Structure 1
Amino acid sequence: MRHHLVLRVVSKLLIPFIILYGLYVQFHGDFSPGGGFQAGVIVAAAIILYALIFGTERAKQVFKPQALMVLAPVGVMIFALVGYYAMAMGGAYLDYDWLAGDDTTGQHIGIITVEFGVGLTVTAVMTLIFLAYAGRTHEIDDDDW
């Protein structure tokens, strides 16, 4: 890969702000449009930009696929455990009112926790999908059809 100095410098400046915006969307999602899925896509886009500019091998060194394969189900487990915890406290599955003494506080805790789990899963899965296909070099011949 040729070294594109301008792209590397601009991406190094943009990637932290993209991730910061993803975190804003993540943690402001219970007050405005946004949430875990949107934030996960934004953070994954920053990681994919890193891989496109610096190469997939370097991206795999920084964002290890083995760690991403662990984070994807951890996000799902966070989502599920919030629901089971609400049931254990006497409510229905994902009934956030039971997560704290105050209904409003329970709603905020539940939404932020569930959206965090969704964001974690979406970031990990989208990055894994990109890394799985980005390194492929097989060209399709007419004989493959």
Structure 2
Amino acid sequence: MSDHLILRIIAKMFIPFILLFALYVQFHGDYGPGGGFQAGVIFASALILYTLIFGLKTAMRVVSPTALRILAASGVLLYGGTGVACMVRGGNFLNYSMLSDTPLAGQHLGIFLIELGVGTTVFAVMVMLFYAFSGRKGPEV
């Protein structure tokens, strides 16, 4: 892959913009289209592009499978923990109004935390699946 200089340069130029767009989709999710799932997939696509251009071993040094497992678990815990925090404060599971002094502030905080948990989990699982399938050898033709 070292002979594909143009692909490497273009990828290095585009990956930061893909990541920036993923962050925009993540943080704009409670005000318009987008949110955690879409942002997680876009974020994962940036790492998948990096893997396709620079190789699987290089990508695994950037984001290791262990880090991906921790991120996936952290996202699920953030999602569930938000619901449990609502219950501890006297509401129902995922009743965001209980997370703050005012219901509107609680709604914004709850949606933000839920979407962040979903985005983190989706990113990690998508990349783990890609790593798992890209490391396999196909049948010899």
TM category (shorter chain) comes to over 0.9
Could you tell me which residue of structure 2 aligns to residue 84 of structure 1?
A: 84
* Aligned residues between the structures: 141
* Displacement after TM superposition at 1:122 (Å): 0.3
In 2, Cα distance between the equivalents of 1:7 and 1:129? Answer: 24
* Displacement after TM superposition at 1:140 (Å): 6.0
Could you tell me which residue of structure 2 aligns to residue 108 of structure 1?
A: 108
Identity of paired residues, percent? 51
Q: Does 1:137 align with 2:137?
A: yes
In 2, Cα distance between the equivalents of 1:10 and 1:98? Answer: 47
Could you tell me which residue of structure 2 aligns to residue 14 of structure 1?
A: 14
* Displacement after TM superposition at 1:3 (Å): 2.2
In 2, Cα distance between the equivalents of 1:8 and 1:131? Answer: 20
Q: Does 1:61 align with 2:55?
A: no
Could you tell me which residue of structure 2 aligns to residue 126 of structure 1?
A: 126
* Displacement after TM superposition at 1:2 (Å): 4.5
In 2, Cα distance between the equivalents of 1:31 and 1:120? Answer: 19
* Displacement after TM superposition at 1:136 (Å): 1.3
In 1, Cα distance between the equivalents of 2:4 and 2:78? Answer: 40
Instruction: Write the letter of the residue equivalent to 1:123.
Output: F
Match of 1:11, SS state, is: helix
Structure 1: 5+ residue stretches without partners? none
Deviations 1:44-89 (A, max 9, x none): 0000000000001100011111110111011000000000000111
In 2, Cα distance between the equivalents of 1:123 and 1:112? Answer: 16
Runs of 4+ in 1 over 4 A off after TM superposition: none
Could you tell me which residue of structure 1 aligns to residue 31 of structure 2?
A: 31
TM-score normalised over the length of structure 2: 0.97
* Displacement after TM superposition at 1:104 (Å): 0.8
Match of 2:137, SS state, is: coil
In 1, Cα distance between the equivalents of 2:82 and 2:3? Answer: 46
Instruction: Write the letter of the residue equivalent to 1:50.
Output: Y
* Displacement after TM superposition at 1:138 (Å): 3.0
Structure 2: 5+ residue stretches without partners? none
